[in-house]
Chains A and B, each alone.
Chain A
Amino acid sequence: MMDFGFGISRSSTVNLDSVALENFTRLQALEPDALKCISCGSCTATCPAGKFSGMSLRKVIHNLQRGREKEAVEMLRGCMLCGKCSMVCPRAINTRHLIMSIQKIYGEEAR
């Protein structure tokens, strides 16, 4: 292959056709409320870990639905399970329970 000094970069477009949602379907069965998230960001704004580790439950839920499972699980490592997010969630999602379920399905032990 010839080196021209530049390369072809892949499109950053997320192709929803090829996002594998098997794991998310399993999560949905355990946590139907996960789908109620409206990305308001309250959880992220209040998260004590977020300020230091980049942890954002909003992004975790969103990433899981777009097939970015690795990023989501990596991000969850910052969670201290303090439960502050469940206090602020306007859609009354049991966020701590949700986080545990995510770990069950996507976490290292699950692999």
Chain B
Amino acid sequence: MIYQGKQKIWSEYQKEIPDDHWFYVRSCIRQNFFPASEKMFLEICRNVLGKDFYETEHHTTCGGIAYHCDTIPQETVMTIVARQFALMTEAGYSNYVASCITSFGNYIEILETWKEFPELETRIRELLWKACRREFRKPDYVAHASDLIYKYRNEIAARAKYRLVNRHTGEPLRVVEHIGCHYSKMFPSKGVGGAEYPYVLCGMIESWGGNVIDYPERRHCCGYGFRQYHVKANRGYSISNTHKKFESMEPYHPDMIITNCPGCPYFLDRWQYAISEMEGKTYSKDGYGIPVFTYEEVASLVLGYDPWDIGLQLHQVAVEPLLDKIGIEYDPARKYEGIDRKNLSRPELPGILKCC
């Protein structure tokens, strides 16, 4: 691999990301899967870095899941999105940041569609007015939340308590990065680093001390694919895609996976359990599998937050072997205690995939 060749591509796909004053919208599903990721995003941006991030409880889904499952027409999705933009306008913001990759792709797709078909935008403005008497300005900038952590990566590194380095060997951790399909495959110029060699997560990994693994199926979908998973008859197809990725990354012995999409970390994490039960196989030498993280979780870990305060006990693949590699302190006894010290009760452990 010629690293300078990638740098050249990365330099061609840099987008303007304003430094401050953002209107933040959450994902429909991330708080269930990775409960502290969005909270930690706001915590880091607001309290660690002192930035202005606004959010409102009045925002809804962007309609992306239904759109990609072919269950609602695009006009409906557009009107939902128009309402979100109206909330942003009412709050006095013009920079819009989405937690979810599919939302991000959805916003970009809609704005680009309106650029090509202004009459559609006019119609949506009418529909929104009829539906809820709201008006909106289009955002000046739309970013995905990982764009911002990418932008702040060096500030985070400067405050980091830990680095993505194996404390026993001193070697950088081998990190697989996985980008959600809707981040830049539809509009390569809207993603940091483009679509073929996205840089958004690589930049974080490099800044925080890790080594990025480029394996043959890096570009492949995580396997979620909306109706591939949501329709039960298609689930074999979903897990087959995930399986293909793991088979491809296995020879590189990754220490961890970082993702920037709601679905990807969930499926890369949970399907490791299903694969282990179906095939008797795990993808690490020690039998624990490869731990999967959101970029907010990794940012929180390097900044020194307690692993149990950032929700890592909800991961299927045990995170403890990685925490030990980095040297992150944690109290095993606290794993299944809530923030209020209430006992969350212990889950049943799987048969093949080792867990702590």
Size of interface on A: residues with Cβ below 8 Å to B? 10
A4 close to B244 (CB less than 8 A): no
Interface flags for A35-75 (1: CB within 8 Å of B; 0: not) read 00000000000000000000000000000000000000000
Dominant secondary structure of chain A at its interface with chain B = loop
A7 to B233, CA, bound (A): 10
B277 close to A7 (CB less than 8 A): no
B40 within 8 Å of A by Cβ? no
Q: Please tell me the size bucket of the interface on B.
A: 10 to 19
Within 8 Å CB of A10, what residues of B?
240
B274 close to A4 (CB less than 8 A): yes
Minimum distance in angstroms from B239 CB to a CB of chain A = 6
B57 within 8 Å of A by Cβ? no
A96 to B52, CA, bound (A): 79
A14 within 8 Å of B by Cβ? no
Within 8 Å CB of A5, what residues of B?
232, 235
A110 within 8 Å of B by Cβ? no
A10 to B243, CA, bound (A): 9
The 8 Å CB contact of A7, one of B244, B278, B280, B351, is B278
B236 close to A1 (CB less than 8 A): no
A2 close to B244 (CB less than 8 A): no
The 8 Å CB contact of A8, one of B232, B233, B240, B351, is B240
Within 8 Å CB of B279, what residues of A?
1, 8
A18 within 8 Å of B by Cβ? no
A8 close to B235 (CB less than 8 A): no
A1 close to B280 (CB less than 8 A): yes
Q: A: which residues have CB within 8 A of B? A: 1-2, 4-11
Q: B: which residues have CB within 8 A of A? A: 232-233, 235-237, 239-240, 243-244, 274-275, 277-280, 351
Given contacts A5-B232, A6-B235, A9-B237, 16 further A-B contacts (CB under 8 A): A1-B277, A1-B278, A1-B280, A2-B277, A2-B278, A4-B274, A4-B277, A7-B236, A8-B236, A8-B239, A8-B240, A8-B243, A8-B275, A9-B236, A10-B240, A11-B240
